Structure 1
């Protein structure tokens, strides 16, 4: 969730000399003062740090400005996930237009999501080096170009190429969650993370709601024209409202401003440089490979990342399976495409409920951390999930056996109620697992959450190919048995959450990645103590004077 976390544990990137000057006394006050925690590179250049210029960072923005930025980013996230979930409404028309099977038409859905999973990880390191703003603008530009290509596609092959490239061009959660880390530190960013998580899951429901109306009342190509219009609006909004937030970029700008201002005032140019200005190369091939590889390493080697990602990925996969099951389920009550799309409104309401339900727990934890930031263990962030994660299995069992239809005197509102329960669980699972991994992995939080996001998008993409055959496989209870099987799988995947809540500290002690957070905490404690001692010494000096 930002390379500024990674820098804490990376001893090989720069040869910095950190000066703390803890034991300075009043008699030494005549010496030239050095910036606190001043850093110099091997050429003697002073490197501007977050401690030296906190006023220029995203942390210093007002809360109003932060949430204005975050609202635009939420719209951006919705637009990208809208592109993933509106496509199924065009499958029938694409199949008829170019004489391909419906299963072949669904390849566009699978390809977009699978490449979206890889695209998020590919865009992330570039946003750390060159800033969030240009990378998100570039991503939106390419996505819009490929949306235009899809809208004008003359044949099936062009459509598939456009879908694949659009997925690869989408810079999703890895960049947007990194932007949250630019605005708040790890102890205060839960509200921001909750907002972005809501926007991410909301995009998957806005797609079928809007897509149902377009399928019913507009030519099928309008599905792609609307993607382009939405993407163009989002790109313009981001261009006009959102400033750069990446700390290293802001420090580079401040260092240049200070040098320029000194020359303008007729003073010698200060020996102050930005973090990227002292680098010999901005980003190396090795760094790209390590950044891209590490999420998969954590996914395979870390039980916390594996179980959290599998649960989160399976939960997201359900939503895309719903895109296929909703048609036959609500078709029993004679729902048209637009009415079936409205059936996702309860899921969306479930997302709002899940979001609101986290607020009391976030408030309580933040109040406790203000007293002692080290008194709240990462496992505390899983507490509410212990109560909400079972709603996924309950909702699936309920959805399965209320899908019998009007022949069994079942009202259509019944499966929608259970779908809302699944929506609550889906939001809470994504939010809690992301939040927990941020707290548990510290410097490696970006890689840990990257594995989570990858699992969600990849499994959702795979589901596009098996969901319809899965629901057509059984001769009897065609709609009930598949959802029941999914409910049984959900029950199995929920169990590790209870294990992590009660045994999480033991699991983290065996992880070299999670253990790095303890080192960071120790370093933070030492720095806080040094600051307090220095401030106390200066106060005594002023009092004596």
Structure 2
């Protein structure tokens, strides 16, 4: 064989070996890398020799590697290819017809049982992350209306009589929280969840400490706004659940995450009422500062990157450096300039909101339900103080009904949402996100009933346990609605789930900030009985929205307006 023919042969073998190595990408960090080197051969001068081939063959044929091969119809079984290449290298055959895989040879992806894939992490580790994120979410949301019970002492301490400041102490937080999902959510899809969460939590602690140290009312209001801006956990949390769990196990984790988000604002007034009475209003802000600091340390220790787009991009970058193959790319990587990436990422939440019918309908319905719950929450304390003569501290206990309803609703969702999905898989049915929605109609009826009961019993001063039971039904309806819809959106939008949730939260937080302002005029004009009836009737009138999602959700997803979200699912499922 001439020198030129020998060189061509070994170059072809190296190409095949490199292709094989891509099939072993799930263990690429410790895979021996075959390469060609020039050696002096007697009578032939310098010739090419395949280096490390024996090590690669021994490594690849080990029984533990069986699960590491990505299989498909466009190339032959890896072990058979190894045998044929080994024969060529050892000179036992002149076969040069080993066909490399051309279609996806430069694509870096996870394979079955890949330990770097968050879906394959141990359950204990997954649930540690979920519980930590739930605690962060609850603690962040707890601060939303924690200032309500101590707003009067704050004004008195700063010698202010301006009623507008009392409203701003609470509502300015919501204004910050309206804006925050628009940049924290997309940033987590551009740079990963881990650093975004850590930076946001650090800012949250700093701004919360600034609130506690405020020397005038304007400074306190400014820090309240900045603290609201630093709430990144709410939009990112559902995306982390999607990163960690398959569809059939996602409902329970979403229930825990969503419960923490809605339970925080309910528990906040209970804690603030007693803490403000006994330790002063500044400790109402110092306590969450301390809790956030502890959770931030745990976040640094426990949480590692879960967003698979970033994991694969980092893996591809590392392999390009190790293999000197500039063509290696993550399956999610696209040729875009940084400016284009920043622009497309920043506009993605609003783009999805206005181009996806299912996201728009889900957002409208959840926002109204959420807003009505906030009307109830902001009414509970003054109503029980005025009509049932509860003290400022005891009025916080009236929120226990709402807490129980939220807890029971989350428990119900944790069992039923996954059961629907698992039953469909048992029957070999194709998974559809709409399988998350059967609880919406019962939740609608329960919430309407709760608003009726609360309004009429408070109006006529029925024994205080009865209106508290009414608030429990409101909480149950909110939990079932919120968890079902957020899980539905996460399942529908693939790798862009956080952007979709961010868009939903912008509208939801806007409603929660401004709709409660209509509560006092409404109840003053109609009374608690007819005011509660009006709110309950509006919820009933909107019941066709969840019915439309249940019956027509898949058809709506197939429409042109959903192509952006569908693109994410196509990439993810390919």
* TM-score interval, smaller chain: 0.7 to 0.9
CA contact (8 A) 1:187 1:369 kept: no
Partner of 1:427: 479
CA contact (8 A) 1:259 1:269 kept: yes
1:312-391 to structure 2, matched below 5 A, reads 312-331=366-385, 332-371=387-426, 374-391=429-446
Partner of 1:196: 257
Partner of 1:143: 204
User: CA shift at 1:329, angstroms?
Assistant: 1.6
1:88-487 to structure 2, matched below 5 A, reads 88-96=148-156, 97-251=158-312, 275=330, 284-331=338-385, 332-371=387-426, 374-406=429-461, 410-442=462-494, 444-471=496-523, 473-474=524-525, 478-487=527-536
CA contact (8 A) 2:74 2:101 kept: no
CA distance in 2, matches of 1:459, 1:452: 11
Aligned residue for 1:402, secondary structure, equals: helix
Aligned residue for 2:281, secondary structure, equals: coil
Of 482, 499, 506, which residue of structure 1 is paired with 2:548? 499
User: CA shift at 1:446, angstroms?
Assistant: 3.5
CA distance in 1, matches of 2:331, 2:572: 24
CA distance in 2, matches of 1:207, 1:296: 31
CA distance in 2, matches of 1:70, 1:506: 32
Q: Does 1:64 align with 2:124?
A: yes
Q: Which has the larger radius of gyration?
A: 2
* TM-superposition CA deviations, 1:105-127 (whole Å, max 9, x none): 22232221122122122112222
CA distance in 2, matches of 1:171, 1:376: 30
CA distance in 1, matches of 2:469, 2:446: 12
Aligned residue for 2:458, secondary structure, equals: coil
Higher relative contact order (CA 8 A, sep 6+): 1
CA distance in 2, matches of 1:93, 1:74: 31
CA contact (8 A) 2:250 2:418 kept: no
Aligned residue for 1:54, secondary structure, equals: coil
Cα distance change of structure 1 residues 353 and 322 upon mapping to structure 2, 3 Å threshold: same
Q: TM-score, normalised by structure 2?
A: 0.76
Aligned residue for 1:189, secondary structure, equals: helix
Cα distance change of structure 1 residues 172 and 458 upon mapping to structure 2, 3 Å threshold: farther
* TM-superposition CA deviations, 1:134-167 (whole Å, max 9, x none): 2111111111111111111111211111011111
CA distance in 1, matches of 2:571, 2:128: 35
User: CA shift at 1:22, angstroms?
Assistant: 1.9
User: CA shift at 1:417, angstroms?
Assistant: 0.2
Cα distance change of structure 1 residues 481 and 36 upon mapping to structure 2, 3 Å threshold: farther
Partner of 1:85: 145
For structure 1, the residue ranges without an aligned partner over 5 or more in a row are 1-17, 41-46, 263-267, 528-545
Cα distance change of structure 1 residues 463 and 98 upon mapping to structure 2, 3 Å threshold: farther
For structure 2, the residue ranges without an aligned partner over 5 or more in a row are 1-69, 86-97
User: CA shift at 1:364, angstroms?
Assistant: 2.6
CA distance in 1, matches of 2:496, 2:303: 26
Cα distance change of structure 1 residues 234 and 276 upon mapping to structure 2, 3 Å threshold: farther
Aligned residue for 1:150, secondary structure, equals: helix
User: CA shift at 1:357, angstroms?
Assistant: 1.3
- Give the paired residue count: 489
Cα distance change of structure 1 residues 393 and 22 upon mapping to structure 2, 3 Å threshold: same
CA contact (8 A) 2:403 2:475 kept: yes
CA distance in 2, matches of 1:119, 1:421: 30
More divergent stretch after superposition (421-430 vs 378-387)? 378-387
CA contact (8 A) 2:557 2:566 kept: no
Cα distance change of structure 1 residues 88 and 243 upon mapping to structure 2, 3 Å threshold: same
1:9-24 to structure 2, matched below 5 A, reads 22-24=74-76
Q: CA RMSD in A?
A: 3.4
1:38-57 to structure 2, matched below 5 A, reads 38-40=104-106, 48-51=108-111, 54-57=114-117
* TM-superposition CA deviations, 1:387-442 (whole Å, max 9, x none): 12211111101110011254xxx100011001000000001111111122233444
More divergent stretch after superposition (103-112 vs 333-342)? 103-112
Aligned residue for 2:74, secondary structure, equals: coil
Partner of 1:510: 559
Aligned residue for 1:106, secondary structure, equals: helix
CA contact (8 A) 1:368 1:375 kept: no
More divergent stretch after superposition (351-360 vs 364-373)? 364-373
Cα distance change of structure 1 residues 414 and 366 upon mapping to structure 2, 3 Å threshold: same
Aligned residue for 1:337, secondary structure, equals: coil
